[in-house]
Amino acid sequence: MTEVSTLCVAGASGLVGSNIVRAALQRGYAVNGTLRDRNAPEKAFYLKALPGGENLSLFSAEMGDEASFVAPLDGADGVFITCLIPTYKGIDGTLAKEMDDTRGYAEIIMPTVDGCLNILRAAHLQGVRTAVICSSTSSTNPVPSVPVKNEVDHWSDADEQCRAKKYTSATKTVMEKAAMKFCAEHGIRLSIILPTGLYGPAILPEHMNHNPFAWLKRVIDGGSARHERTPNDSASMIHLYDLANLFLAAFENPDASGRYFGVYKSLHWQEIYAECKKILPDMKMPAPIMQPAATPTGFDFTRRDSLGVHLRDFPTFLRETIEWIQSEPFTK
């Protein structure tokens, strides 16, 4: 009998983490999932109810406490770090954009960086040799901007992000470089997935508070769209199921390492709203743009496509998301 591989998902109740749990269980993996309180009924219930949930073990762990990850990483073949949630406020509620660099680093950037390194240190001590981290495309915005960006050459400048008071975005840039250095020094094969704009079915009711679910639900109920006026800007997106498959592909491919866009593509907001209108013809549309449409963000997807994951297109996953919300999945 073939031994079942065990995966540790740090941040199992998050939007990305819970979908990795779902996909891993579906593939037959045993999963050790961490959350702040493994007994939290509003989280544990829905995770354990996933198909294959009998192969899911939940652990309480905090990224600020390295020792709390020893047990969930015991015997694991790989770790997925998806608990690095963006922080927008300081300890006393001060907005990140209102801080100076000293506070920005101490309260916004370093807790996440240190938390990621804590998990990687615990993984190293437990003999885990493969890690996949969920970061963000916010770490791939060079100055000056480029028409088509890739994951290898194009990095955000953390100092420039801090000067612009974008400490939350700088967190991802600093964290990725620290993680890459640690893993290179300790023989851990590291892949970093860079997503944004998550569509498709969510796992927990609390995920409905996030966009795009929140504004799509409002539109479905006859309310306003996300914007009063269509932004002359683009947004990147991907289906959560496809994103989870990218994470697992990076783990399963022994040659995978480095950064990968977790993005289908970027579309102008007028195209996004036009597609919504096709599905919801009675929706209240935002005011149109008054200038020529800006060019959407350009991506080189060569590395992403090397992982061999088929991605749904936007019309498909927008319709799937809307139909899923209309089904009222958490009221049954």
Q: Does residue 98 have a pLDDT over 60?
A: yes
Question: In this model, does residue 123 exceed pLDDT 70?
Answer: yes
Is 158 contained in some domain?
Answer: no
Which amino acid, one-letter code, is at 80? F
CATH number at residue 274: 3.90.25.10
* Domain presence at residue 15: no
Give a yes or no: residue 182 inside a domain.
no
Per-residue pLDDT reduced to its tens digit, 254-301: 999 999 999 999 999 999 999 999 999 999 999 999 999 999 999 999
- Token look-up 């949930």 returns 53
Domain, as residue range, for 326: 199-236+264-332
pLDDT for residue 305 is more than 60: yes
Tell me the average pLDDT across 165-187. Answer: 96
Please check whether residue 160 lies inside any domain of the structure: no
Q: Is residue 141 in a domain? A: no
- Bridge partners (DSSP) listed for residue 236: 266
Closest CA to 90 of 191, 7, 165, 37: 165
Is 139 inside any structural domain?
A: no
Report the pLDDT value the prediction gives residue 332, as an integer from 0 to 100: 60
Task: Judge whether 73 lies within some domain.
Answer: no
Cα separation, 221 vs 266, in Å, equals 26
Distance CA 184, CA 125 (A): 15
Query: Are β-strands 78-81 and 130-134 bridged in parallel, bridged antiparallel, or unpaired?
Result: parallel
As a whole number of angstroms, the distance between CA 246 and CA 252 comes to 10
DSSP string, 49-111: TSTTGGGEEEEE--TT-GGGGHHHHTT-SEEEE-------B-TTS-BGGG--HHHIIIIIIHH
pLDDT digit string, tens, across residues 36-89: 988 888 899 999 999 999 999 999 999 999 999 999 999 999 999 999 878 888
Whether the bond into 212 is cis, omega within 30 of 0: yes
Q: In which element (H, E) is residue 325 found?
A: helix 314-326
With H, G, I as helix, E, B as strand and everything else as coil, classify residue 203.
Answer: coil
What's the CA dihedral at 258, 262, 268, 272 to 10 degrees? Answer: 180
Q: 């219930």: which residue's tokens?
A: 45
Q: What are phi and psi of 285, to 5 degrees?
A: -85, 145
Please say if the pLDDT value at position 2 is more than 60.
no
**C-alpha distances in Å from residue 192, one per residue of 50, 90, 136:** 26, 26, 9
Would you say residue 278 lies in a domain?
yes
- Report the domain count for the chain: 1
The predicted structure's pLDDT at residue 210: 92
